[in-house]
Amino acid sequence: AAPAPAEKEDPFEQELRKANEEMIRENYAQALRSFNTLTTNFAHEPSAHLGRARLLELLAKKERSNQRLWEAIDAYKRYLAFGELVASNQEFQTAGESCIENLRFLGHHRQATTIHELLINRLPEDPRLRNQLSLTYLMVNNLQQVEKVAVETLKLWPNNAVAQLHYGLALRQFHADYAKALPYLKYAVESGEEGTQEAFFYLSLGETMQRLSMKSEALEVYGKGVAKGFFASLYQRSLYNEPRLRAQPFWQPKETGYERQLEKLTLNWRAIRDEGLALLGRSGFFEDEAELLRDKGVWQQYELYAQGRRVKDNCRRAPITCSLLEEFPESAGCRRGQVKFSVMQAKTHVWPHCGPTNCRLRAHLTLAAPEPEKASLRVAEQERTWREGELFIFDDSFEHEVWHNGSQSRLVLILDMWHPQLSAAQRRSLSPI
Ligand code: LMR
Ligand code: MN
C-alpha cells in the first residue's frame, strides 16, 4: 500500500511558527519583519496579530520605548477586535489584561476602561475582571466610577472582598461616610485575599477607624501593617520611602545641616509675614486643602514651590520670600515637597494623617500665631505650638494632627526640605511627589 501522505502544514501555521522561533532565538529584527508580513498576508488570522502584539510589547520593554508600547497596544486592539472569532477565552483575557497593563503604565486609564468592558462582556461570570475595572478607576481617583462598578459587582457577588474594599474606599473618599465605609474596609483587609493586601488599604482602614474614634483598633491595624512590612513603624506610615533614613518626629535645625539657611529665613520672618499677610488680604489667592484631611474649620494654602519647581505667578506676588528661597535650593528644589503659606482659621481640626514620603523634612516658620495654649501640632506622641518669629522642624511622614481652638488665625510658611541623608544622586533621581 502506498504510504500515507505526510500531513502538510498549513502555510500560515508554518510562517507563524517561523516568526515565533525567530522571536525565541532573540532575532528580533527578523521576527518583526516576519510578523509584519504575516499580519499583512494573513490579516484575517487573529493569532498573527496576537504574536505581533507580544513581540512589540517585548521590544518596548527592551528598548524602553513608549512609542513601541503604543504599537503593541494597537496590535493588541486589532487582535481583540476579532471578538468571538478568537476561540480561546484564556488567550483573549490574557491579551486584554496585557493591553490594560500597558495603557495604565502610559497613564491612559480612560482607554483602558474600554478594554475592561470588552473582557467583562465576554466573561461576565468572572468578578475579578470587574474588580480590575474598578481598580483602574481607583488609580485615577475616579471614585464615582469605582463606586458604580463595585456596587454592580456586589449585587452579583455580595461577599467579594475586593469589591467590598473598592466600595468602602469610595464611601470613605468620595462620600466621607466613615461609619458606612468601615465594615467594608475591615472585612476586605481582614479577608487577606489577593488584591486586598496593600499598604494603602491598611492605611485607609486605620484612618477610617481614627475618624470614628476607634483609637486602639486603628493601632492594631497599623501594627499588622508594620508586621507585613507596609509601614516603617506604628506612627511612620508614609508610602513612598527610601530605606535607612534617620527618622524622628521633631528635628533641631543643627541636626539637618541646613542651620544657616534656616537662620537666614528666620531673621527675615517679618518681611515674609508681610508678603503672606498682603496676599491673605486679597481674595482668591489661597486655595482650600483638598485632600479630605479637615475634620472642621478653614485651612488654606498658597504655593510658592511645588515638586521642586517655582510656581511663577505666585512667586511674582511674593518676591522677597522667593528670593530668600532661591538661596535655599535644598528646600526650593525639593521635588518631594512644597514651599507654601499655610493659613488656618480658629476652630479648625485636621485629622491625624501622614505625609506621602520619608524623603523630606517639614519646617514651619511661624508668621502669625494664635494663643499658644489653644493651638497645637501633635507629631507621633509629641506636641508643640506656634510662636511668632520661631521655626520648628518635623518629619511629616509621622502621623500628625492639628488643633486650632484659639481666636486669631494662624499663618506659617511651610518649607519642605530634602532629608539630609539623601545623596545628590538620590535627589536627582527620585520621582517627584
Ligand atoms: C501638615 O502637614 O498637616 C501641617 O504642616 C499643615 C499645617 O498647616 O499645619
Ligand atoms: Mn500634613
| Ion ligand 2 — residues with CB < 5 Å | 396
In this structure, the dihedral spanned by the alpha carbons of residues 203, 206, 212 and 214, taken in order and rounded to 10 degrees, is -160
The pLDDT value recorded for residue 290 is: 83
Ligand 1 center to 364 CA (angstroms): 8
The pLDDT value recorded for residue 291 is: 85
Ligand 1 in reach of 98 Cβ (< 6 A): no
Ligand 1 in reach of 358 Cβ (< 6 A): no
Determine the atom of ligand 1 nearest the C-alpha atom of 414.
Answer: 5
The pLDDT value recorded for residue 219 is: 97
Distance CA 236, CA 291 (A): 19
* Ligand 1, atom 2, residue with closest C-alpha: 396
Question: Beta partners for 250?
Answer: 394
The pLDDT value recorded for residue 1 is: 59
Ligand 1 in reach of 38 Cβ (< 6 A): no
Residues with Cβ within 8 Å of residue 251, at least 6 apart in sequence: 361, 393, 394, 395
Instruction: Please name the residue ranges forming H helices in 106-142.
Output: 109-122, 127-139
* Ligand 1, atom 4, residue with closest C-alpha: 402
Summarised one tens digit per residue, pLDDT across range 199-254 is 999 999 999 999 999 999 999 999 999 999 999 999 999 999 999 999 999 999 99
Ligand 1 in reach of 363 Cβ (< 6 A): no
The pLDDT value recorded for residue 110 is: 97
Ligand 2 center to 130 CA (angstroms): 34
Determine the atom of ligand 1 nearest the C-alpha atom of 350.
Answer: 3
Residue 406 and residue 218 in contact, taking contact as beta carbons nearer than 8 Å: no
Ligand 1 center to 53 CA (angstroms): 48
Determine the atom of ligand 1 nearest the C-alpha atom of 342.
Answer: 8
Residue 297 and residue 348 in contact, taking contact as beta carbons nearer than 8 Å: yes
Q: What is each CA distance from 331 to 219, 268, 361, 417, 430, in whole angstroms? A: 33, 16, 9, 4, 15
Give this prediction's pTM: 0.91
The pLDDT value recorded for residue 6 is: 65
Pocket-testing residue among 414, 415, 416, 417, ligand 1, by greatest number of atoms within 8 A of Cβ: 414
Low-confidence ranges of the chain (pLDDT < 70): 1-6
The pLDDT value recorded for residue 3 is: 66
Ligand 1 in reach of 102 Cβ (< 6 A): no
